[in-house]
Structures are given as C-alpha cells and as structure tokens.
Amino acid sequence: MAEKLFIGGKWVKSKSGKTFTSINPATGGTIGTFQSGNSKDVGLAVRAARKAYKKWRLTPAPGRGEILFEAARLLKKNKKRLGKCVTDEMGKQISEGLGDVQEAIDVFEYMAAEGRRFFGHTTTSESPDKFAMTVRVPLGVCGLITPWNFPIAIPAWKLAPCLIAGNAAVFKPASDTPGCALELVKILSEAGVPDGVVNLVTGSGRNVGAPIVRHKGIDAISFTGSREVGEFVAANAGLKKVGLELGGKNPIIVMGDADLDLAVDGIIWGAFGTTGQRCTAASRVIVHKAVEKPLLARLLRATGKLTIGYGMKADVGPLVNQAAVEKTKAYVEIGKKEGKLFCGGNALEGNFFEPTIFTKVKPSARIAQEEIFGPVLAIITVKSLGEAITVANSTSYGLSAAIYTRDVNSAFTAIRDLEAGITYINAPTIGAEVHLPFGGVKATGNGTREAGILGLEEFSEVKTAYVDYSGKLQKAQIDE
Ligand code: UN1
C-alpha cells in the first residue's frame, strides 16, 4: 500500500493519482511506495498551513517548545529504528545513520529551549517617557525543501527553528528519501504539533518543489541541495525570504608540522564518510611538500582497510543511486586526464564505488573545482602556508575548511584567511554541532546560517516597537 501525503493533519492521496518507489541503494530492495505530489497538492498544503498558522503563531513560544521537547523524546525512543531507516533508505553506514537521528534530537532540544529565550533587544529612546524594543515574529508559511544525504537531520534543522518561531511549514523531502521524512512527520504529529502546522508533500522537484518556490501563499523558502537548484530557487522565489545551503569543495590543509596520523584519520573520515556525499565532505587535500610522501603512504594504507558494502555491515556504504554512480564515474575519467590515479577509481556492482584518490592535481583541475558528491579526493601539493590558503580559496564554494598543524600562528592565520563559513583546526571538514551556526560563503549559499542562534533568524523577523507613555505627541528628530 502506498504511503500518503500529510495535509491539514490528514493522510491523503495525491491529486496526480501517481506514485513512486524509494529503493534501498545497497540492496536494491523496495523501501516503500510514495505519492507523486503535484501543484494541486501544494495548493492544498499551503491553504492548510495558512489556516493553522493563525493559531500556532499565537501559541506561546514556551508551549511550542514543550511540543519540540516531546518530539526530541520520541526521536530518542525511536533512535535505533530510525537510524536503520536512514541506512536502508540512503545508504550511509549505521553509526552515521544513528548520528543523523542524534543531530535531529540535538536540534529539537536546542530549539525547544529557545522557546524560553527568543530574545529581542530593549534600548533607550531619544524622547522622554518612551520605550523602545525589538521583538521576533514568525514569517508565516515556510517552504522547506531538503536533500537526501541527511534525511532526518537536515529536515530537523529546518523544522525545529521554523516551528519554535511560530511558522507553519510545507515540507518537500528529496525523492530518494521520502520514507525518513514520513517518519519524522509522524513523530512531530505524535508529539502534538497541531494539524496543518506541518504538511508533507512528497514528489519531484519539478512537480512539488517548483510550485512551492513560486507559490504566493508561501512567505519563505529554506533550501539545501545542489547549486543548480539553488540558483533556480533564487531566481523564482520572488520577494520571499530565501535561505540557501548549496555545495562545497572543502579543503583539508596538511602542514609540514602536522600530526600525520591524526590528519589521516580526519581525511579518511572527511573524504569517505557518507561515501563523500556531504556538502561538508573533504574533496581536496592540500599538503605541504615536506610531508607529501609519508602522508600518501599512510592514506593508501588507511584507504585499503575500508570495507565497502551495505551500511549495516561495512565502513563505506553505496552511493545514493545509479545517477550518482554515473556522475562519479565521469569525474574519475576526467581525473585520469588531470592527475594521477593513486588508488580506487572503480564502480563496483550495484551502487558501490571504491574510495578514490588522485595525486598531482592542479588547483584549477575540474576534480579540484567541481563538487562530485562521491568518494573522490584530489591531492594538491604546495610549498607554503600562503600557497595552501590561496589554493584552498581558489574555488567558487566556501562551506567548510580544515587545517592540520601544531603551529598556533598557522592555525590563526587559517581561521582569518580561509574563505569558508566553518573552519576546523586539527579536525576534518565534517562535524558541525547544532548549537553553532552552519553555512558558507561565496557560491555555497546566500549568507544564511542554519542551526545555532542564527538558525532562528532564518525563520523569524525583527519587529521594532516604540511605546510612548508621555501622553503627548513627540516627534523624533524634530522636538528639541
Ligand atoms: C551536509 O554535509 O549536508 O558537519 C550537512 C557535518 C554534519 C552536517 C553536514 N553535521 O558534516
């Protein structure tokens, strides 16, 4: 039986009358059948959200927080089961599947507690007997469009701040992971999110995503995904408030004084964790010439130890689908012309791909510039910290960056000069925590930060309020 859409608190079929299936990328087994939503479903979801918003926005924020705490509790209770759902539907290794759920728990708890802060400012007035302050107000109805690589965590990053701020949501998950999205929405409903406040419309980007982006009844869009789609969102959302988290080409710099064993652990995790399918994945290593040889020897050894297979059993799971395999294959062919294939390079049966490393890559090579979203790492060799930073900054993206060094001067220079929203010292490019802002510079987005205190800003706006208790007309700038 096909799963349904969730609109206005009811599980309903799509007006399209069509469905699609979600497949386990490791085993080829069917996860489930889901509704292929269309613009009519989006219209109904927006109507339900607008109606529910009227009441939800007036529910005191600590009360909204109670519901989010309950959602966190239910996620905890179901963590094991949901972690396996993540592994089965998108392929990542089970400890990462559980981490995906943990990140959702963390962000629900964090944002739930924001319900008792939600601070504005108070300040002085230039007039006597007058009070001035700012308060935060919700945006209205938000369209949330999420990717498959963190199928529970990224929807949670958006839903938790969206809800605590008093907005209603129309949520469209990636078509590779509708099952995880459904699980999350069921938990929100069970936790007490009122009917219509969160509406789920599954289906394609063309038939569901685009109508959400263009809908006049939607006030804001929060999108995480590819740069191409991000550009479409920016061009089609009109005057909606838009938050974009797009790609990355994240570098790890390894200096001559680095702890090489530590660096190798970080590179392997950064490059091949989630099979390279993170916007924060390390896809470039920029190594100082002095340690190139020993680093490569260690990397070869460590890569050789990785097991590839179904995420319940192996270190490196599959790519999400056949299109991702084809894309990775194509980049490996490009890489063979641009650098030296050092290890891996082969697609295996099913959706699996060997962890792949290219050496002697030029900073301008396509495999060093374009986001592959697969287990492909480009190694670039440099002669100084200055050159390393110039190379690190030489892509259009700027999400996360890392440096391995024992020198405090190099570390602080990197923090100052790396063009990235997130910089790690002696840690890989992945590992963001939910109470700190997450996001990037340059083509990684449009400046929005998710999670942390800034995550609330994406989903609320500031209202300025003046209270004049003088009992007479006072004119700003004009009265003496
Ligand atoms: C993403 O790569 O799409 O820091 C999000 C990390 C995770 C979030 C990544 N906590 O890698």
pLDDT at 479: 73
Q: Can you give the pLDDT at residue 252?
A: 98
Q: How far is the CA of 77 from the centre of ligand 1 (A)?
A: 23
User: Is the minimum distance from the CB of 120 to ligand 1 under 6 angstroms?
Assistant: no
Mean pLDDT of the chain: 97
Band (70; pLDDT cuts 50, 70, 90): very high
**Ligand 1 atom having least distance to the Cα of 99:** 10
Report yes or no: 356 and 281 within 8 Å, Cβ to Cβ: no
What is the whole-number distance in angstroms between the Cα of residue 318 and the centre of ligand 1? 18
Q: State whether the beta carbon of 274 lies less than 6 angstroms from ligand 1.
A: no
What is the β-pairing status of strands 356-359 and 250-254? unpaired
Question: Is ligand 1 within 6 A of the CB of residue 149?
Answer: yes
Q: How confident is the model at residue 455 (pLDDT cuts 50, 70, 90)?
A: very high
Burial readout 118-155 (b: 16 or more C-beta within 10 A, e: otherwise)? beeeeeebebeeeebeeebebbbbbbbbbbbbbbbbbb
- From ligand 1's centre to the CA of 219, what distance in Å? 26
Give the pLDDT mean for 389-406.
98
Atom 8, ligand 1: residue with shortest CA distance: 432
Structure tokens at 228: 């191409």
Query: What's the whole-number mean pLDDT along residues 119-147?
Result: 97
- Distance from residue 281's CA to the centre of ligand 1 (Å): 8
Contact 215, 42 (CB under 8 A): yes
- Residue 186's Cβ-side half-sphere holds a number of Cα atoms within 13 Å equal to 12
Residue type, 4: K
The tens digit of pLDDT for each residue in 286-299 reads 999 999 999 999 99
pLDDT over 90 (residue 277)? yes
Of the pLDDT bands very low, low, confident and very high (cuts 50, 70, 90), residue 46 is: very high
> What pLDDT, on a 0 to 100 scale, did the predictor assign at position 473?
96
What pLDDT, on the 0 to 100 scale, is given for residue 1?
81
Give CA–CA dist 194/198, Å, rounded. Answer: 8
Ligand 1 atom with the smallest distance to the CA of 153 is: 8
Percent of the chain with pLDDT over 70: 100
Ligand 1 in reach of 146 Cβ (< 6 A): no
Q: How far is the CA of 100 from the centre of ligand 1 (A)?
A: 9
Distance from the Cα of residue 351 to its chain's centroid? 23
Biggest alpha carbon distance in the chain?
81
Atom of ligand 1 nearest to the CA of 399: 2
93 lines ligand 1 (CB under 6 A): no
Atom of ligand 1 nearest to the CA of 280: 2
Determine whether the shortest distance from the Cβ of 90 to ligand 1 is under 6 A: no
pLDDT recorded at residue 453 = 85
**Ligand 1 center–CA 104 separation, angstroms:** 12
Residues near 72 by beta carbon (within 8 Å), at least 6 away in sequence: 105, 108, 109, 112
437 lines ligand 1 (CB under 6 A): no
Distance 146 CA to ligand 1 centre (A): 13
Q: What gap in Å lies between CA 462 and CA 460, rounded to an integer?
A: 7
pLDDT at res. 235: 97
Give yes or no for residue 431 CB within 6 A of ligand 1: yes
**C-alpha span between 85 and 31 (Å, rounded):** 9
Q: Encoding tokens for residue 261? A: 């064993």
**CA 252 to each of CA 32, 255, 283, 360: distance values in angstroms, whole numbers, following the listed order:** 39, 10, 8, 16
The residue to mutate among 105, 280, 371, 373, having the most atoms of ligand 1 within 8 angstroms of its beta carbon, is 280
Tens-place pLDDT, residues 13-40:
999 999 999 999 999 999 999 999 999 9
**Ligand 1 pocket member 279 (CB < 6 A):** yes
Q: Which domains does the chain have, with CATH numbers?
A: 5-246+445-465 (3.40.605.10), 250-425 (3.40.309.10)
What does the CA dihedral 72, 76, 77, 81 come to, rounded to 10 degrees? 120
- Annotated active-site positions, please? 279
Spacing, Cα 278 to ligand 1 middle (Å): 6
Tokens of 371: 């986001």
Ligand 1 atom at minimal distance to the Cα of residue 400: 4
Q: For every residue of the chain, which 3-state class applies, written as one string? A: CCCCEEECCEEECCCCCCEEEEECCCCCCEEEEEECCCHHHHHHHHHHHHHHHHHHCCCCHHHHHHHHHHHHHHHHHCHHHHHHHHHHHHCCCHHHHHHHHHHHHHHHHHHHHHCCCCCCCEECCCCCCEEEEEEEEECCEEEEECCCCCCCHHHHHHHHHHHHCCCEEEEECCCCCHHHHHHHHHHHHHHCCCCCCEEECCCCHHHHHHHHHHCCCCCEEEEECCHHHHHHHHHHCCCCEEEEECCCCEEEEECCCCCHHHHHHHHHHHHHHHHHCCCCCEEEEEEEHHHHHHHHHHHHHHHHHCCECCCCCCCECCCCCHHHHHHHHHHHHHHHHHCEEEECCCECCCCCECCEEEECCCCCCHHHCCCCCCCEEEEEEECCHHHHHHHHCCCCCCCEEEEECCCHHHHHHHHHHCCCCEEEECCCCCCCCCCCCECCCHHHECCCCECHHHHHHHCEEEEEEEEECCCCCCCCCCCC
Ligand 1 pocket check: which of 105, 249, 278 to mutate, most ligand atoms within 8 Å of Cβ? 278
Question: How much is the average pLDDT of 158-187?
Answer: 98
- Sheet order of strands, 422-425 included: 340-343, 356-359, 376-382, 282-288, 250-254, 400-404, 422-425
* Residue 145 bridge partners (DSSP): 172, 223
**Does 156 contact ligand 1 (Cβ within 6 A)?**
no
Q: pLDDT (tens digit, 9 = 90+) per residue, 320-354?
A: 999 999 999 999 999 999 999 999 999 999 999 99
The answer to whether the CB of 280 is under 6 A from ligand 1 is yes
Query: Is residue 430 lining ligand 1, measured as CB closer than 6 Å?
Result: yes
Could you tell me the distance, in angstroms and rounded to a whole number, from the CA of residue 222 to the centre of ligand 1?
16
- Indicate which residue's Cα is closest to atom 10 of ligand 1: 432
